[in-house]
Structure 1
Amino acid sequence: MTDLFERRPAEEPGLRFYAPGVPWPLPVPRETLPDLLDGAARRYGGRTALVAPGHRIGFRVLRRAAARLAPAL
């Protein structure tokens, strides 16, 4: 099986959805997802993280919701 990062951009169909100027491959962060979410909650607090019809959720609220959900996984 070919590693995702060894594939050439023309072979990766999802690249058509990348905005112009987004690099391939994207850098892979070394932090865990919880670490990234903690950092985003500290940096961006109440700024909008997710938008759904009729709802906006800030980074802090998203972090708290993820912390409540994580033990159930």
Structure 2
Amino acid sequence: MQEMPNYTLHEAMRIVLSEAENKTMHAAELADEIYRRRLYLKKDGSKAQYTQIRARCGHYPEIFEALPGNRIRLKD
């Protein structure tokens, strides 16, 4: 089995958003892309839910901005 990178959720969010158009994505799309790339998995191997992504955005206001419509933007 291939060893996967072991990023924290906010690190994975930063990686994906840095490559997104306008550095912005819907929280659910962001969760799906993080899981698809296997950048972050919960301890049970499942994907982070969009609500977890949204909550992490609030914990790191210096990195992320929550926009209307449940969209997350990476700050410069």
- Greater helix proportion: 1
TM-score, scaled relative to structure 1: 0.28
Q: Which has the larger radius of gyration?
A: 1
Structure with more contact order per residue of length (Cα contacts < 8 Å, sep ≥ 6):
2
Q: TM-score, normalised by structure 2?
A: 0.28
